[in-house]
Amino acid sequence: MAKIIIEGGHRLHGTVRIGGAKNAVLPILAASILASSGTSVIEEVPSLLDAEYMAATIASLGADVRRKPGQVMVNATNLREVEPPHELVRQMRASFVVAGPLLARTGEAVIAMPGGCNIGPRPVDLHIKGLEAMGAQARIENGCVHFVAPKGGLHGARIYLDIPSVGATQNIMMAACLARGQTVIENAAKEPENVDLANYLNAMGARVRGAGTDTIRIEGVRELHGANHSVIPDRIEAGTFLIAGAVAGDGVYVENAVSQHLSSLLAKLEEAGAEIVDDVRGIHIWPIPTRRIRALDVKTHYHPAYPTDLQAPMMAALCVAEGTSTITETVFENRFKHAGELQRMGAEIHIEGRTAIVEGIERLSGAEVTATDLRAGAALVIAGLVADGLTTVSGLHHIDRGYENLVGKFQALGARIRRIEQDRVPRSSSVAVV
């Protein structure tokens, strides 16, 4: 079993470059199948398991998908399948965003109910309701949702989302591009990844307006074509390194981080005592003079509020803050599994419903811990950086889904961290940097 081993106590220093956003590249790859002509060239594609699953999913539908490092080319002229393999779709929840473009392009889509991170119930009712409002018929059978468009294709509709779901907004936005007439999505998700998707769709010939606000208007067109696009930087990867820099850094420059995408996190890190300066290329974060960050009250919510995907990394940092912090998770139920693993490292965390109360302690102590989901994995790595002795993190398939070369990037910042692919116990307490 692969593991990451970290020797705590070595301060981070230097520059780390952030890659393309996982949560943008997934819907962008799915959107590529809307093009009935031409080839899309997508740049800044991170090397991640989830991106591979999505590339394999659209390839299974008949799209010609070619990869080079950092680039994916998609030609979807000859789409022939309407049912991607269930085992592929179940690997990640984001696969469900294939439903909208596939239905709009072919008139049919059969998508297995999604899997993904183990962070509580994550229904797809809003995706289904939105596509039904555009005339689709949907039935759930044998664990799959079977969508069929009416004769003459989907039509525009006014859709109000009860929750500003990121995935439901994407699915409806993509389907609406090829629907007859205008679609208006109200209470839409405002995440930067959805703006990136809208920019790509517009480059393909779509007419999407208002992405990034809570009302998105889409004027349907007859057909779309391939386009060139460069994916935005990953704000969650950037946020992970900024949090690590705040708690374990000695001056870290997070190159390619976009401060406008991270305003809630940056405000919280400044409140905790970090010094932050951004420029056109990225964000500098300097150590807190006292070396222990101040306690915080953090509440996750939809963008532009504090992102749920940075809740676990922030919890790891607050374990060693001065004072008592509270973290309230409002987006997902059951997203505190990492608290149990942090407790194994000596953290003092009490969960009351949707709030975690974190009593800051001087240092954590190294332990064998397991990543229970993608962002929990990043949290445990940060905890390992500020723990005494060795921390061993397993469950790396979660981390591989969403962080490109996490170990190499921390090594370049001076962390004593390495990855082993076999179950080997290190012989000394010192971790060789490979």
Which residues belong to the active site? 117
Q: What is the DSSP string of 375-428?
A: HHHHHHHHHHHTEESEEEEE-HHHHHHH-TTHHHHHHHTT-EEEEESS----SS
Does 122 sit near ligand UD1 (CB under 6 A)? yes
Site string for ligand UD1, 327-356 (x = CB under 6 A): ----xx------------------------
Give the integer Cα–Cα distance in Å for 31 and 216: 17
Count how many Cα atoms sit within 13 Å of the Cα of residue 368 in the half-sphere of its side chain.
Answer: 7
- Minimum CB separation of residue 123 from ligand UD1 in Å reads 4
Return the sign of the alpha-carbon dihedral for residues 104, 109, 112, 113. Answer: positive
Does 123 sit near ligand UD1 (CB under 6 A)? yes
- Judged by CB under 6 A, the residue of 45, 145, 157, 166 near ligand UD1 is 166
Segment near ligand UD1 (CB under 6 A); pick from 29-37, 124-132, 151-159, 381-389: 124-132
With CA atoms as reference, report the closest residue to 247 among 317, 167, 156.
317
Does 309 sit near ligand UD1 (CB under 6 A)? yes
Q: Which is nearer to ligand UD1, 125 or 279 (CB)?
A: 125
Site string for ligand UD1, 25-54 (x = CB under 6 A): -x----------------------------
Residues of span 221-280 touching ligand UD1 by CB under 6 A = none
- Judged by CB under 6 A, the residue of 4, 23, 32, 135 near ligand UD1 is 23
Does 124 sit near ligand UD1 (CB under 6 A)? yes
Q: What is the DSSP string of 65-119?
A: EEEETTEEEEE-TT---S---HHHHTT-GGGGGGHHHHHHHHSEEEEEPP----S
How many residues in the chain?
434
Q: Binding-site residue total for ligand UD1 (CB under 6 A)?
A: 21
- Judged by CB under 6 A, the residue of 1, 140, 163, 432 near ligand UD1 is 163
With CA atoms as reference, report the closest residue to 245 among 262, 223, 222.
262
Segment near ligand UD1 (CB under 6 A); pick from 116-124, 145-153, 278-286, 343-351: 116-124
Parallel/antiparallel/unpaired status of strands 144-148 and 137-141:
antiparallel
Does 188 sit near ligand UD1 (CB under 6 A)? no
Q: What is the DSSP string of 184-200?
A: EEES----HHHHHHHHH
Q: Which is nearer to ligand UD1, 306 or 410 (CB)?
A: 306
- Judged by CB under 6 A, the residue of 127, 229, 401, 418 near ligand UD1 is 127
With CA atoms as reference, report the closest residue to 159 among 192, 193, 136, 191.
136
Count other C-beta atoms under 10 Å from residue 194's C-beta.
26
Contact positions toward ligand UD1, by CB under 6 A?
23, 26, 93-94, 122-127, 163, 165-168, 189, 193, 308-309, 331-332
